[in-house]
Amino acid sequence: MKLQKILNNFQELHPKEIDLSLDRVKELCKKLDNPQDKIKAISVVGTNGKNSTINAIFSILKEANFKCNVYTSPHILKINERFVFNNEELSNDELADLFQEVEKINDNNKITVFEMLSACFFYKAAQYPDNINLVEAGLFHRFDATNILKENLASIVCSCSIDHTDWLPKDERVIEKIVFEKTSTLLNSNIIVAKQSTKETMDCIKKTISHNPSNKEFFNDDFSYSVNENDFFYYEDKLGGLKLPMPNVLGQFQLENISTAIATLRTLDLGIKDEHIQRGITKISSLARLQEIKSGKLKELVKNNKLIVDGSHNEGGAKALNEYLQTLDCNKHVIIGMMANKEHEKYISYFKDIASLTTIDLKTQPNSISGKDLKEKFKSIPNVQYQPNIEQAIKSINLKEDDLLLITGSLYGAAEVLNFN
């Protein structure tokens, strides 16, 4: 209750109108003695794959006995997920004490919730100066509260695609603008660019960062991977090749994220050994990213059928998700709930050969689109229906042996599944 009360206080400080500026978070961090200037960080930007890439790096570093602080967003089940120090999430009491201390120093000045949370992370992280900090950008990057670091070890550019366009003028909702917002202010260190969904996007990134004097490593040009055996994949860069076990996370896109993580760590020359990588990629923790649900009430409803939840909600995520589905020889049933500001028709257009589609309400999210309205948008799709919630949706689907059931469209929807379960 104490933690939630403080978070409610943070909401009250949130400006009614937000100007895209770093002034508020810089002012608060100045009062905190600029903790962001005292840490070693790997910054991660992009549209898709940020969290998964961080999880892969974190898992490998832990195998090599490194201590890490990790800042990600949004959380899935609880806000503690966003605040990892010395490889462990803060407890409710520890988090409440941290928030309370920074809130007092802020002294009721207007500031966004994300800016406040970012300042809290930097303040705590500075207490562990030898730790490696893994910092995920929130919205874009240029005016993101995480973009106040003085220096960093590396910047990772994950897959970039169209998302969060409601923050941009209508005439700027194009990939060139998205890339500019995410990459134009990267620090001068090492820049590792992950695989992109199109050549146009990769070329746009290369052009945008061409004047940045950083050492640059690009997927395909400088590092790559291939899958040649069922139980192994091969990673290769200028340092040589690695034969690696398949990771414990599903999807081809996860191999892309893991390859980016490996490229980053090998570029930094931290003394990471091959065995650290081999062990680390089999122990990756990843909530709501092609996560198979193996127990609980919802699993009981689908019986022996595979149940997967994935929080993807944009074109890039849908494309990666469909690529995974196309590798499976079974009937695929999709349950979907989405936020109102997403590109609903574009998202669903990537799904091919699905046996049924069920739209649902996300009743805990006031800014979601109703399941009925979503069904209307998807009316051209065969076998589309509406159900008010996840449980009724599952019960309404005629599952046959070895069918797959996927719940997707929103991280908030994924959270409902995991909380329900």
| DSSP string computed for 143-168 | T-TTTT-S--SEEEE-B--S--GGGS
Identify the band that residue 171 occupies on the pLDDT scale cut at 50, 70 and 90: low
- Upper half-sphere CA count for residue 215 (Cβ side, 13 Å): 10
What is the pLDDT at residue 173? 64
Task: Examine the pLDDT at 417 and tell me if it is beyond 70.
Answer: yes
State the Cα–Cα distance between residues 66 and 53, nearest whole angstrom.
Answer: 17
Identify the band that residue 58 occupies on the pLDDT scale cut at 50, 70 and 90: very high
E-strand stretches of 119-211: 132-136, 154-157, 190-193
pLDDT digits (tens, 9 = 90+) for 231-246: 899 999 999 999 999 9
Cα distance between the two ends of the chain: 23
Q: What domains appear along the chain, each with residue ranges and CATH number? A: 2-280 (3.40.1190.10), 291-420 (3.90.190.20)
What is the pLDDT at residue 373? 98
Q: What is the mean pLDDT of residues 275-280?
A: 98
Of all helices (H) and strands (E), which one includes residue 5?
A: helix 2-13
Task: Examine the pLDDT at 164 and tell me if it is beyond 60.
Answer: no
Identify the band that residue 169 occupies on the pLDDT scale cut at 50, 70 and 90: low
Task: Examine the pLDDT at 167 and tell me if it is beyond 60.
Answer: no
CB 393 within 8 A of CB 364: no
Length of the chain, please?
Answer: 421
pLDDT digits (tens, 9 = 90+) for 298-309: 999 999 999 999
Q: What is the mean pLDDT of residues 124-145?
A: 94
For residue 159, what are the β-bridge partners?
48
For the chain, how many helices (H) and strands (E)? 15, 17
What is the pLDDT at residue 163? 60
Q: What is the mean pLDDT of residues 148-162?
A: 94
What is the pLDDT at residue 139? 77
What is the pLDDT at residue 166? 58
What is the pLDDT at residue 257? 97
CB 358 within 8 A of CB 336: yes
E-strand stretches of 28-167: 40-45, 68-71, 84-85, 88-89, 132-136, 154-157
Residue 185 DSSP code: T
Task: Examine the pLDDT at 165 and tell me if it is beyond 90.
Answer: no
Task: Examine the pLDDT at 283 and tell me if it is beyond 60.
Answer: yes
pLDDT digits (tens, 9 = 90+) for 61-111: 999 999 999 999 999 999 999 999 999 999 999 999 999 999 999 999 999
State the Cα–Cα distance between residues 340 and 410, nearest whole angstrom.
Answer: 11
State the Cα–Cα distance between residues 125 and 115, nearest whole angstrom.
Answer: 15
Opening angle at CA 199, ends 193 and 201, nearest 5: 60
Neighbours of 382 (CB within 10 A): 8
Opening angle at CA 399, ends 405 and 397, nearest 5: 80
267 burial class (0-12, 13-18, 19+ CB within 10 angstroms)? buried
309-345 burial, b for 16+ CB within 10 Å, e for fewer?
A: bbbbbbbbbbbbbbebbeeeeebbbbbbbbbeebbbe
What is the pLDDT at residue 228? 79
pLDDT digits (tens, 9 = 90+) for 98-131: 999 999 999 999 999 999 999 999 999 999 999 9
What is the pLDDT at residue 172? 59
Identify the band that residue 141 occupies on the pLDDT scale cut at 50, 70 and 90: confident
Share of the chain above pLDDT 70, in %: 97
Provide the whole-model pTM. Answer: 0.94
CB 156 within 8 A of CB 45: yes
State the Cα–Cα distance between residues 190 and 19, nearest whole angstrom.
Answer: 30
Task: Examine the pLDDT at 375 and tell me if it is beyond 70.
Answer: yes
Q: Which SS3 state, helix, strand or coil, does residue 212 take?
A: coil
Of all helices (H) and strands (E), which one includes residue 333?
A: strand 332-336
What is the pLDDT at residue 144? 94
pLDDT digits (tens, 9 = 90+) for 23-53: 999 999 999 999 999 999 999 999 999 999 9
What is the pLDDT at residue 85? 98
3-state secondary structure 265-317: HHHHCCCCCHHHHHHHCCCCCCCCCCEECCCCHHHHHHCCCEEEECCCCCHHH
Task: Examine the pLDDT at 376 and tell me if it is beyond 80.
Answer: yes
CB 51 within 8 A of CB 137: no
Pick 169 or 337 by higher pLDDT. 337
State the Cα–Cα distance between residues 354 and 315, nearest whole angstrom.
Answer: 17
Q: What is the mean pLDDT of residues 288-297?
A: 94
Task: Examine the pLDDT at 7 and tell me if it is beyond 60.
Answer: yes
pLDDT digits (tens, 9 = 90+) for 174-200: 789 899 999 999 999 999 999 999 999
CA proximity to 138, closest of 112, 100, 107: 112
